[in-house]
Structure 1
Amino acid sequence: MSALLGLRPEVQDTCISLGLMLLFVLFVGLARVIARQQLHRPVVHAFVLEFLATFQLCCCTHELQVLSEQDSAHPTWTLTLIYFFSLVHGLTLVGTASNPCGVMMQMILGGMSPEMGAVRLLAQLVSALCSRYCISALWSLSLTKYHYDERILACRNPIHTDMSKAIIIEAICSFIFHSALLHFQEVRTKLRIHLLAALITFLAYAGVLMMILMFSFFLPWLHNN
């Protein structure tokens, strides 16, 4: 603690945020181990594991947003964090979807029954709400200058462009990711996790780039021809 106090304030804030994210990962990891040992009913087991996975993902995403604001002048810092924690989530949350699209894709492909899919979707919804209030309580402690009680409850629009453009870019990125997910099924798990983490990082960076290229060059060219 004394070593942390000797650092610059912005470095202290970064260390605290990173520490919180790692604590989330460790807490969920411990809870998953206990759940695997104690829960034997498939439905309850699936619900709890999906709840924990989504909780970890949501809490870390909230804190990652804080970290990205701490050094917004250097986008490579944010991309590095996205890759690292995508890798962490991929390694620690094996066996869970943590995403409604992932659950629905498994249901469509016949890899999951509708009942189990509904259980997992419910777990994700409840967990996302719980993570929101957990983060709100944590930020109210003002551990860093970026943590404040009103932050999580503020209603902000995350879309910084026209709705039509956002839908197109989101659809393209989602298609690329889920197509890669299907093609990576035959790849060894450890390698697949690295590939998906790299792909997520690339899409986080390339989403803006694709929007610029598409609406500045491709669509005008298509219209003129």
Structure 2
Amino acid sequence: MAGLNVSIAFFFLVVGVCQVLRQLTKRLLSPGAYGCLARELAGSLQLCMSCLELRMLVEIGPWGGGFGPDVVLTLLFLLFAVHGASFDGASANPTISLQEFLLLESSLAATATKLLAQGAGMGMGWAITKLYWSWELTQFHLIQNLIASECSSSIRTSLHHAAFAEGSCSFLFHLVLLKLRQSHPVYQVPALAATVTFLSYAAGPLTGAFFNPALAAVAAFHCSGSSFWDYIRVYWLGPLAGMLTALLLYQGNIPRLFQKNLLYRQKSKYKVPKAKVVAHVEGDEPRQKRKGEKSKSKPCA
């Protein structure tokens, strides 16, 4: 269990360093630069390093450390709960940033900046984690260094099945995210962490259950066994299609592309009272229009 304790200490260190980075950049940068650049960079760095270390435990832990999947799933839930509480609004996921753009919540320039920051953060996270593994602090890291150059593809099923699995995970994740968008973080964070844990348990043996294009690019694209275009179809197009399907099902439309609701008929919240005929009274008798007298009211357009 010594190797597991080192990994847990690594998780704490990563979260702490990224939290310090967030606090420093929040003071030094403008709100716009912090929200689009520094916050996403720190969140992506934290997510990438944590997920790579956890993925190493998933692959090596059961036979190298003697602990079962229950330990890894518990760590996964706790990690994503910590991520949700510490990200300060960052998504660290390109499909979430694109969803915000399609919902008219983010401009094109802001979305492009977020995507660049996420790619940079993931790349930095991959480089730092490889350096950390090279120190070989545990037997897990020693084994990881030995097999790193000959890693095999994370796609362990047919391409169509793999793309469907990644798309389905992205669909369910984004559907939960849309449903909980306005919820209090006390309810939102554990619900999203539980969703990620369940999806990873269900689809992990098939594709690794990334449903995050940036994370998949640094963690899986360099492994042999599948072509670059196979990875694009499974880990980029699959999650993107799942996000678009969830958005269309939840909203009934995609606000950035068209305003008309294609799936649901929206009812007005306000009832229009029916017009009442009011008789104008002269004295005690109602005044009636004479036969052939023209009305002074304007016709409806």
TM-score, structure 2 length as denominator?
Answer: 0.63
In the alignment, what sits opposite 1:131? 125
Which has the greater radius of gyration? 2
Shift of 1:133: 1.0
Contact 2:25 2:34 in 1 (8 A): no
The equivalent of 2:72 in structure 1 is 78
2:198 to 197, 202, 205: 202
The 5 Å alignment of 1:1-225 reads: 11-40=1-30, 42-43=32-33, 46-68=36-58, 69-71=60-62, 74-148=68-142, 149=145, 154-207=150-203
Tell me how far 1:86 sits from its aligned partner: 0.8
Separation in structure 1 between the aligned mates of residue 62 and residue 102 of structure 2, nearest angstrom = 41
Q: How far did residue 152 of structure 1 move?
A: 5.1
| Greater fraction of residues in helix | 1
Q: Is the 8 A contact 2:40 2:91 kept in 1?
A: yes
Structure 1 53/150 Cα, relative in aligned 2: closer, same or farther at 3 Å? farther
Q: Which amino acid aligns with 1:62?
A: L
Shift in CA distance, 41/151, structure 1 to aligned 2, threshold 3 Å:
farther
| Corresponding residue SS for 1:91 | helix
Classify 1:192/1:45 alpha carbon distance in 2 versus 1 (closer, same or farther; 3 Å).
closer
Flag the 1:121–1:153 CA change in 2: closer, same or farther, 3 A.
farther
Cα distance in structure 2, aligned partners of 1:210 and 1:145 = 26
CA contact (8 A) 1:83 1:198 kept: yes
Offset at 1:209? 9.3
Contact kept, 8 Å, 1:71 with 1:77, in 2: the verdict is no
**Could you list the runs of 5+ residues in structure 1 that have no partner in the other structure?**
1-10, 212-225
Task: Calculate percent identity across the aligned residue pairs.
Answer: 27
Q: Distance between the aligned counterparts of 2:75 and 2:158, measured in 1?
A: 27
In the alignment, the residues of structure 2 paired with residue 96 and residue 36 of structure 1 have an alpha-carbon distance, to the nearest angstrom, of 13
Q: Following the alignment from structure 1 to structure 2, what is the Cα–Cα distance between the partners of residues 108 and 126?
A: 23
> What is the total number of aligned residue pairs between the two structures?
201
Does the 8 Å contact 2:43/2:92 carry over to 1? yes
Larger displacement relative to structure 2 (63-72 or 118-127):
63-72
Q: CA deviation at 1:110?
A: 0.5
CA apart distance, 1:66: 2.1
Where does residue 222 of structure 1 map in the other structure? none
SS of the aligned residue for 1:159 comes to: coil
Q: Is the 8 A contact 2:157 2:206 kept in 1?
A: no
- Measured after TM superposition, the shift of residue 113 of structure 1 is 0.4
Asked if the contact 2:156–2:205 (Cα under 8 Å) also holds between the matched residues in 1, the reply is no
C-alpha contact 1:35 1:45 (8 A) present in aligned 2: no
Distance in 1 separating the partners of 2:126 and 2:205: 30
SS in 1 for 2:105: coil
Whether the 8 Å contact between 2:18 and 2:43 is mirrored in structure 1 is yes
Take 2:42 and 2:127, find their aligned partners in 1: how far apart are those partners?
15
SS of the residue 1:146 aligns to: helix
Structure 2: unaligned runs, 5 residues or longer: 208-301
1:130 to 1:173, Cα distance in 2 relative to 1, 3 A: same
Letter in 2 for 1:42: G
